[in-house]
Chains A and B, each alone.
Chain A
Amino acid sequence: MEFCYFPGCTLKNKAKDLDRCARLCAEILGVKLTELPEWQCCGGVYVSTSDDVAVKLASVRALIAAEERGLPLLTVCSACHNVLKRTEHDLRTNAEFAAKVKAYTGSEYKGTVKVVHYLEMLRDLIGYEKIRSAVKYPLDGMKIGCYYGCMLLRPGRVMRTDNPEDPVIMEELIKALGGEPVAFPERSECCGAYTYAESETLTEKRSERVVQSAKNCGAEALVTACPLCKYNAGKYGDLPVLYFTELTAKAFGV
């Protein structure tokens, strides 16, 4: 099983553990991740206005490169995943956007690339049974709050990663690794995102509320796929926040 891998800028510096553990676990599961040599930063957030083409070109180029190789495009970071999946959707559903893109890049996207999040790969292509059998050190009933945030799930109609109102994709993984997922009300609400320079209070209030709600429901740690959720929740809350790939690597003993 082979994928074009789009690590994204954050996984190359502040979120090295997310990347390193993703690669180690892929190896154990027999998945080949071929890093796209020509990837550029996705921009961190999707811009929805119809005439903004230039800001999406990095994603378009990654999609075209994956299409040329005939491989699905895999990401681990929630933000890259959101931007790539939505741009891919735009290319297929918005003829005006596709035509402008063609004029800019000189190449055409045919619409054959599947954008896959690592968690989707684990669920749909590997299966939790195989993951369970790769576990050497089960998480021993550790109580874990799965913190989805927003970008992995929404907009649900485009992302289709999981049901945005009742996601289970991370809970199922935690169960397969021997942990005990804990539900909490804020698990798919935003951490306050990128507003650090705009508002002194927004990220602080949001992240405090997320972490407090997880603690109230008995979580001993949070797990996430998003470097920004990890940073904000870790900065303003008092629970350990881990990447799902770190926990997977820990359970696999790598």
Chain B
Amino acid sequence: MSSAEFENIATLEDEFTESPEVTPERQVEMSAHDISIWFNKRKVLEGVNIEFPKRTVTALIGPSGCGKSTFLRTLNRLHELIPGAALAGEIRYEGKDIYAPEVDPVLIRLAIGMVFQKPNPFPSMTIRGNVLAGLKLSGMKRPNHDDIVEETLTAAGLWTEVKDRLNHEAGSLSGGQQQRLVIARALAVNPHVLLMDEPCSALDPASTLKVEETIRQLSKDITIIIVTHNMQQAVRVADYTAFFLAAEGEPGHIVEQGPTTDIFGNPQDQRTLDYVNGRFG
């Protein structure tokens, strides 16, 4: 990967922040404090407390329907767009409450990018247009668009497949290619945090590995929070893991969280042990 751009950011940020190796206690980029989430009257998540240290990968795992996607969407204020959605608690980004009244959600979403469960390229735009869509939509100015396109598509593992047809419509790509395209699109606006909701569920093993490599590479510069159903993937990419669970008819919560090696190697809770060994969920 031509990572000149990313190294650039890294050196830039190093001027302002201590590098992770120096401090024993890693700096916290985002944190959730006593978060509960409702859809209308129905509470789907309760009492979630978690910290996401800077430049780390955190995996959120847990059975289907336990509220992982919903939680992820509260981290960049997408949850509030659903009619009837409500939230209690506090989400902090760089120490500040992102739901404070004076905060502009548009800027939060620009700094905290997201890749969705289903690929959603913009059908009216070309492949190149999709990669650069974030710049156009947010009004962000970055020079050298050609370089951005090549870098982000390379990072997403799509460059060699599309470099000769950048001006074709995005709809002409396969589902897996579309997913890698939207990963590139999310990277083009230089997010500080990247939320990924099962980014590899539509990908073949080769592109999955490619994307995982990209995640590892990116985590040198940015904070990544990834939802995954793939245990091996969590082990491969994540520094930390949080296990979500919702009992029948009750809101979901975090059963256990900590370094990935602990969650998978030495879980404290029987339910975690069962889940990571594929015994339920």
A, B in one complex: no
